[in-house]
Amino acid sequence: MTYVIATAENEKLRERALASLASLPPFSPILNRLIATLSREDVSFIKIAELIEKDTVLAGNVLRLVNSALYGRRATVNSVRHAVSLLGINKLRNATLGMSVTRMWNQVRSPAGWSMARFNLHAVGTAMLADLLAQELPVEYAEGAFAAGLFHDLGRLLIALALPDEYSQIAIVSSGSHLSRSECETEVLGFTHADLSADALAVWNLPDMIRLAVEFHHRPRPAEEEGNLSLSQVIAVADEMVNACGYRVEGRGMPSFDAGILEKEGARLQRLGVRNPERLLQNFVTEFEALRSLF
């Protein structure tokens, strides 16, 4: 009988947390269109360019990106459509998806003890690193790596927004034990932020492969095809590496990359099968530092 009551209470907490999804600002037209492109291949450059042109802030950021030192253009690019053709559909989709989502999250009134800046940096860092790994390694549904990385911790935000007392209790349990964050969440709530993130992505109708990668990023499942990595394995590695570099959701101040940590993580990437981990990590740091001001 006690077990049934506890399960019912846990389910109520889960429903409350998921209901807070409605308190987030609504998706913009460009964000809706970008999410739709994740499940199909016939993406139109012109259609996306037209949408970006209607969003002044987003258009300005796309032009800032394509004219940044990251791309080293000799001549200034002044046209969104030119920028779209130079960046390519994947880079454009990732950058605009990241900028749109983090701008949306920045409109949310942060709960006590929550840093939206750190949350955004961790989400974007995980998304970028996951995407770079998916370009280097044989990964199932590689095109979903950025989105899965970007949304993998959405459940943590929903818990902080809807269940502030339980969120504080999770922090207390975590600080006083050797349990993982997910284990502490299960102890307090009966579910984890990964479970809740997956629930949210189902509401948003994101592709199942992305939802499953998010749900299992703390307990990755092997790929169905031998020799490949599952998307959940890639998100798990990216999440752990970004945390190791100091870009955690919890913490104070804005961290910076440490060369010693990057060297250690490079050895890990080599074991994973990345041929040139130093180059991949350098590309990650360069892109992340160039883009972080836009998020």
Which range has the worst mean pLDDT, 34-48, 125-139, 190-204?
Answer: 34-48
pLDDT of residue 162: 95
d(CA 84, CA 45): 7
Cite the residue boundaries of each domain of the chain with CATH code 1.10.3210.10. Answer: 2-22+114-294
Residue with tokens 């629930």: 199
pLDDT of residue 291: 77
56-66 helix and 80-87 helix, angle to the nearest 10 degrees:
50
Tokens of 188: 């307090």
Query: Which residues have a Cβ under 8 Å from the Cβ of 138 and sit 6 or more positions away?
Result: 227, 228, 229
pLDDT tier at 26 (50, 70, 90 boundaries)?
confident
* pLDDT mean across residues, the chain: 87
Q: What is the DSSP letter of 28?
A: P
pLDDT of residue 295: 66
Residue with tokens 């807070």: 20
pTM: 0.89
On the question of pLDDT at 17 being above 80, the answer is yes
d(CA 104, CA 61): 15
On the question of pLDDT at 5 being above 50, the answer is no
Of the chain, the end-to-end C-alpha distance in Å amounts to 48
Q: What mean pLDDT do residues 200-216 have? A: 95
Which amino acid type is present at position 155? G
CATH 1.10.3210.10 fits 2-22+114-294, yes or no: yes
pLDDT 10s digits, 69-102:
777 777 788 888 888 888 887 888 888 889 889 8
